[in-house]
Structure 1
C-alpha cells in the first residue's frame, strides 16, 4: 500500500506528465513555420518540403509553411530560429553548416546550446570521382600515386571550407598523403573539369550520380560510414583503406532551446513516421539521398560530438 507521503511526492511528477500530455495533444493550434536557411531547390529545401507535405497529411491538414531565409552561409536563417519563441511554432531544417558555420565565421548563436535537436532525417555521402579514362581505378590507386609523388595529384572541390574540401582534407590526414586542393566557385564546374581531366580527382555531392550512372564519370569510392543505397556496389573510403573515415552531410530538424519536450517528441515521432513511408523513400531515391532517421533523444545526445567532429574537419581544411 502506498503511504500518504509517497502519494504526495508523486503528485508533482503526475501533474507535469499531465501538463506535457495536454500540451502535446493541443499542438499545433496555429501555423508552424519551417525555416530553411538556403535557397529553394537545394537538397535541404526539397527535404523540408517533402517532410512538411507528409506532416500536413499526418496531422489532418495542419498548416505548416516552409520559409526560405538564405544568406551568410545559412547564418541568417539559423539565427532567426535561435531567437524565435521556444513554443514549437518555428522550426529549422539545416545541413552540416549548422555545425561548421561557427568555426568558419563568427555566429551570434551556439549550434548546441541554442537549439533543441528534433530529428535527423536524411544524409548525403560525397562521391570520390575521376574521369572515365583516368589511370585511377580505385581509391587505393590514388593513395599509391600520392605517396609515390607527393603534391602531384589534385582534387577539385566546390570551394574552401565546403564538405567536398573536407573530404580531400580528411583523406590527406588519415592516409598520410598530400593531395593538392583545387577549389572552385561551385560544384558543377568542379565536376565538369574532373570529367574532362583538368582535375585528376573530385569530391562531389549527389549531383554527380547521374553522370556516374550515364558513364561520364568514374566513381572510386563514397565517403559515408556505410555503402550508399544509391551506389550499393561502390566501396566506401573507410572499407577500402581500413581508415576511420567518414564525411556525410545530414539534414536535421531543430527547434529553439527551451521548446517543451512534449512538443519536441511529438514532432520527432511524426518525422519518424514520415521518413519510414514509401513515398519518402521514393523521394530520396529520386534525389540520391539516403534516409537516416534518428529521434530527438539520439540527436540530442550526439549534438556535442557532432560539433566537435565538424570543428575538426574545418580545422583540417586550414592545414
Structure 2
C-alpha cells in the first residue's frame, strides 16, 4: 500500500476516534434526551416501590424527562442491580436502587457482580424503619413471648423476610444469637408476600419494612418491635431493639447507582436531580408515611460508605458463621 493510502487510513481513523469522543461529550452535555429507566428491585406496592416512585417523579421534573420504574424483584433485592450491571449501557438511561444486600450477598455466596467494580454510585437517599409483626390472632403478645416459646421449641418459630441476605434476615439471626434461640427464616420476594405469609399465619412472624403499616393500623397485625434508634412516632408504645436488650439499630440505608463506566457529567446531573427530589416536601411527606427520612450522601461520600458498610457487614457475616466457604 502507498504511503498516501496509509496516511488516508490513519486520518480516517483519527476522524472516527475524534467523532466518537465528540459524540460522547455531546451525549453527556445534552443528557437526558429520552426517558430514564429506574430499576426498583422489589415488587410493586411495597414501601421501597412507593417511595422510589415519589422520588423518581420529583427528579424527573428536574431532568425534564420521565423516569420509568422497572420492578425487578428477587434475590433479596439483588436481581435488578445484577441485571443492570451485566447488560445496561453506561449511558445514564438505566439506573437502579441499591439495597445493602448488593454489598452483603457476595460475602455469603458466589454472585455475578462485584459491588466495588460493577457500579457507578450516584447518590445515597434514605433508609427504612424495620419491624417484626405477628398476626393479631397469634399467641405472641410481646417479643418476650416469642423468646420463651422459641426456647421451649427450637426452630419452630418461623419468620418471613424479603429474602436471604437482606438486613431483615441478618438482623433476625443476630437477635436469635443474642437471645440464645433458633429461628427459621422463610424468604420471599418482597413485602406483599411477607404480609400475606404472616397474615395467613403461614409464618409465625414477619420481619420487614413498613409495608406492614396498613395492616398494623387496621388491627390485623401486631407490631412487636422496631429496629430504629428511637421509638417510632407512629407507634410510641412499641419498643426498640435497644429497649429489649439488643444493642443494635438497623435501617438498611440505600441509594442509586448506574452501571460501571458512567460519565461523571451524567452522574452529576443525576445526583443533582435526586438531591432536589429528597428535599421536595411532597417526597418527604411520602417517606414519612413509611417512617423513612432523607439520609443524603453525595457521590463521593456514598462511595466511601460502600467501602465502610462492606467491611462492617463482613464482620457481622463472619460472626454469624454465614460467610461463603
Q: Which is further off, 33-42 or 213-222?
A: 33-42
CA contact (8 A) 2:121 2:303 kept: yes
Quote how far apart the aligned CAs of 1:92 are.
Answer: 1.7
Quote how far apart the aligned CAs of 1:154 are.
Answer: 1.3
2 CA distance for matches of 1:131 and 1:165? 19
Aligned to 1:190: 197
Quote how far apart the aligned CAs of 1:309 are.
Answer: 4.2
Render the CA deviation track for 1:253-291: whole Å, top value 9, x for unaligned.
Answer: 002334344443442233222112111022223455443
Aligned to 1:238: 242
RMSD: 3.6
Quote how far apart the aligned CAs of 1:169 are.
Answer: 0.7
CA contact (8 A) 2:125 2:254 kept: yes
Q: Counterpart of 1:167 in 2: which secondary structure?
A: helix
1:30 to 33, 53, 61: 33
Aligned to 2:160: 157
Q: Do structure 1's residue 64 and structure 2's residue 66 form an aligned pair? A: yes
Aligned to 1:81: 84
Q: Do structure 1's residue 252 and structure 2's residue 259 form an aligned pair? A: no
Render the CA deviation track for 1:47-101: whole Å, top value 9, x for unaligned.
Answer: 3332221122224xx2233252626635554244325444434322233332244
Q: Which is further off, 180-189 or 292-301?
A: 180-189
Q: Counterpart of 1:124 in 2: which secondary structure?
A: coil
The 1:317/1:40 distance shift into structure 2, 3 A limit, reads: farther
Aligned to 1:283: 286
2 CA distance for matches of 1:290 and 1:152? 35
The 1:109/1:137 distance shift into structure 2, 3 A limit, reads: same
Consecutive unaligned residues of structure 2, counting only runs of 5 or more, are 1-24
TM-score, structure 1 as length reference: 0.73
Aligned to 2:113: 109
TM-score, structure 2 as length reference: 0.72
Aligned ranges for residues 95-244 of structure 1 at < 5 Å? 95-103=99-107, 106-132=110-136, 136-140=140-144, 142-143=146-147, 145=148, 149=152, 151=154, 154-158=157-161, 161=164, 163=166, 164-173=168-177, 175-183=178-186, 185=188, 186-194=193-201, 200-228=204-232, 230-243=234-247
2 CA distance for matches of 1:72 and 1:220? 27
Quote how far apart the aligned CAs of 1:157 are.
Answer: 1.4
The 1:147/1:295 distance shift into structure 2, 3 A limit, reads: same
1:274 to 277, 281, 288: 277
Render the CA deviation track for 1:162-195: whole Å, top value 9, x for unaligned.
Answer: 534333211022x24113215265413332145x
Q: Which is further off, 36-45 or 118-127?
A: 36-45
Aligned to 2:50: 46
Consecutive unaligned residues of structure 1, counting only runs of 5 or more, are 1-21
Count of residue pairs brought into register by the alignment: 290
